């Protein structure tokens, strides 16, 4: 699908109809444009932009046969693409996971994720508008001990814990910076500027790595200070940054400006940046890369391609083309292979394929679908695996209207998938948060 146009057009002002059309197309299941996060941020900060009422509208429940045809990776993005500003206090609840057939985890293991809430907000026209807001939340892997932290966050990705679990990188709504917070929600620092992507921590926990809208790749000290900036060329945009296991190299997707359309077109090659020297190795890749993940030994990258499926790319200097590993399983006219995570032992690659979570066995070359209990894949990050490699954390969507917790919003729950059995256990429950409709984008916290 072609990238969606900038709704500001030639006037420089986004009208409500243009924004509604943009998000409506995402709601229909089309892949978002590379600058989708930027457009949403501008919707929240541009005084001339749309109001919360303009960005929200009734979403009809699709017919049963149509529900499975919507792009699962984008449903959470589309549902969460309504923005507002509020500050909430930290609140603690208890919950209970359910299900079985999944490897046990220690009671001290926890997850950080986004809580989704369906709330009624005053609109500029004097009326009311139902919108989705998101907060950073923490809970045990059995769903208990939920803590909701103050401050709303962007609906594009979840919190990113530091290697020791003492800090979280989050993205406050209406900004393009990262907020570094402690587990109690107190702020330590802000990092970035023109940031557009989910950041990653350096292995020592001292800095964040992320791409910027100006084509720069940045390594910024988490406590503030002067960042190191790598220039990937004029008229480019860097995203999906991932650090090699030893922290010495950064792989990043590079999008180039389409001069004819005056916007950022399809993603092109993969750049591997050597942190110490700044040297860049350019590797070939498909023009629709949707996910990157390093192998544990740092020799290869796993790529997901919307149309090409799962691929492997040698990170050496030869520049060999990527090798196909698994083809897409969804409809040929609506491929949606996105997000990828390589297990710590290197034996299994997990990735989202249309409605399924697929597990690719590196040794045998076979891919099988995990049993999500009738749910579909919502959000999967490159660090979705538990440290011991037995579990995969993701959010999964339930399109059954009977499972909806508010309005017509699909319920989104965190699930843990056991690699050995391929079965999922639901972690989050019906927390007593007014308007709670689920959780998204989980990340593992080290044992406390």
pTM of the predicted structure, to 2 decimals: 0.74
Cβ proximity of 112 and 443 under 8 Å: yes
Cβ proximity of 216 and 229 under 8 Å: yes
Residue 254: is its pLDDT beyond 90? no
CA–CA dist 113, 128 (Å, integer): 28
Cβ proximity of 443 and 159 under 8 Å: yes
Mean of the per-residue pLDDT values for the chain?
A: 74
Residues with Cβ within 8 Å of residue 255, at least 6 apart in sequence: 34, 236, 237, 239, 264, 265, 266, 267, 268
Residue 201: is its pLDDT beyond 50? yes
Best-predicted range by mean pLDDT among 329-333, 361-365, 402-406, 431-435? 361-365
Confidence of residue 212 (pLDDT cuts 50, 70, 90): confident
Confidence of residue 39 (pLDDT cuts 50, 70, 90): very low
Over residues 142-155, the mean pLDDT reads: 85
Structure tokens at 106: 């220690």
Under DSSP, is residue 192 helix (H, G, I), strand (E, B) or coil? strand
| Secondary structure letter of residue 364 according to DSSP | T
CA–CA dist 418, 389 (Å, integer): 9
Over residues 3-29, the mean pLDDT reads: 41
Structure tokens at 309: 């499926």
End-to-end CA distance of the chain: 45
CA–CA dist 339, 31 (Å, integer): 13
CA–CA dist 411, 223 (Å, integer): 37
- The domain segmentation of the chain, as residue ranges, is 16-445
Over residues 180-209, the mean pLDDT reads: 87
| Secondary structure letter of residue 371 according to DSSP | B
Q: Specify the pLDDT at position 47.
A: 41
List pLDDT tens digits, range 217-248: 999 999 888 899 999 888 788 889 999 999 99
Residue 171: is its pLDDT beyond 60? yes
Buried b (16+ CB within 10 A) or exposed e, 423-444: bbbbbbbebebebbbbbbbbbb
- Domain 16-445 classification at class level: mainly beta
CB atoms within 10 A of CB 301: 26
CA–CA dist 384, 386 (Å, integer): 7
**Rounded alpha-carbon distances, angstroms, from residue 337 to 237, 390, 403:** 21, 23, 26
Helix orientation angle between 72-79 and 16-27, rounded to the nearest 10 degrees: 150
CA–CA dist 28, 22 (Å, integer): 10
Q: Specify the pLDDT at position 300.
A: 95
∠ CA 15-336-374, nearest 5°, is 105
List pLDDT tens digits, range 81-106: 322 222 222 333 333 333 334 443 34
Cross-strand bridge partners of residue 267: 255
Residue positions counted in the chain: 448
Structure tokens at 152: 């709303």
């Amino acid at each position: 699908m072609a990238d969606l146009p900038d709704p500001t057009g030639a006037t420089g002002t986004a009208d409500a109809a243009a924004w509604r059309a943009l998000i409506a197309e995402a709601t229909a299941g089309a892949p978002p444009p590379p600058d989708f996060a930027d457009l949403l941020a501008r919707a929240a900060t541009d005084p001339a932009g749309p109001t919360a009422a303009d960005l929200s509208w009734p979403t009809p429940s699709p017919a049963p046969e149509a529900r499975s045809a919507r792009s699962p990776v984008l449903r959470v993005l589309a549902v969460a693409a309504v923005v507002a500003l509020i500050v909430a206090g930290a609140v603690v609840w208890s919950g209970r996971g359910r299900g079985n057939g999944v490897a046990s985890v220690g009671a001290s293991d926890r997850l950080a994720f986004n809580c989704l809430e369906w709330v009624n907000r005053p609109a500029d026209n004097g009326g009311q508008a139902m919108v989705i807001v998101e907060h950073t939340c923490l809970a045990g892997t059995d769903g208990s001990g939920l803590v909701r932290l103050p401050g709303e966050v962007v609906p594009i990705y979840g919190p990113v814990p530091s290697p020791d679990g003492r800090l979280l990188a989050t993205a406050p709504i209406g900004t393009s910076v990262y907020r570094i917070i402690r587990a109690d929600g107190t702020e330590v620092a802000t990092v970035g500027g023109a940031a557009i992507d989910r950041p990653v921590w350096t292995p020592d926990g001292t800095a964040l790595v992320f791409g910027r809208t100006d084509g720069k790749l940045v390594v910024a000290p988490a406590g503030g200070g002067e960042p190191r900036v790598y220039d990937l060329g004029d008229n480019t945009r860097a995203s999906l940054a991932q650090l090699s296991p030893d922290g010495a190299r950064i792989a990043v997707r590079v999008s180039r400006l389409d001069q004819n359309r005056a916007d950022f077109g399809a993603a092109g090659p993969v750049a591997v940046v050597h942190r110490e020297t700044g040297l860049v190795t350019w590797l070939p890749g498909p023009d629709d890369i949707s996910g990157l993940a390093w192998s544990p030994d740092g020799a290869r990258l796993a790529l997901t391609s919307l149309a090409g499926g799962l691929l492997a790319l040698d990170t050496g200097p030869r520049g060999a083309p990527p090798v196909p590993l698994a083809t897409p399983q969804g409809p040929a006219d609506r491929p949606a292979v996105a997000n990828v995570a390589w297990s710590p032992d290197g034996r299994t690659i997990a990735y989202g394929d249309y409605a399924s979570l697929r597990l690719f066995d590196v040794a045998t070359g076979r891919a099988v679908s995990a049993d999500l209990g009738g749910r579909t894949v919502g959000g999967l990050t490159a660090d979705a695996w538990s440290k011991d490699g037995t579990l995969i954390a993701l959010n999964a969507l339930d399109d059954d209207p009977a499972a909806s917790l508010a309005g017509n919003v699909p319920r989104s729950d965190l699930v843990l998938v056991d690699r050995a059995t391929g079965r999922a256990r639901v972690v989050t429950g019906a927390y007593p948060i007014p308007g709670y409709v689920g959780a998204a984008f989980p990340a593992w916290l080290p044992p406390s």
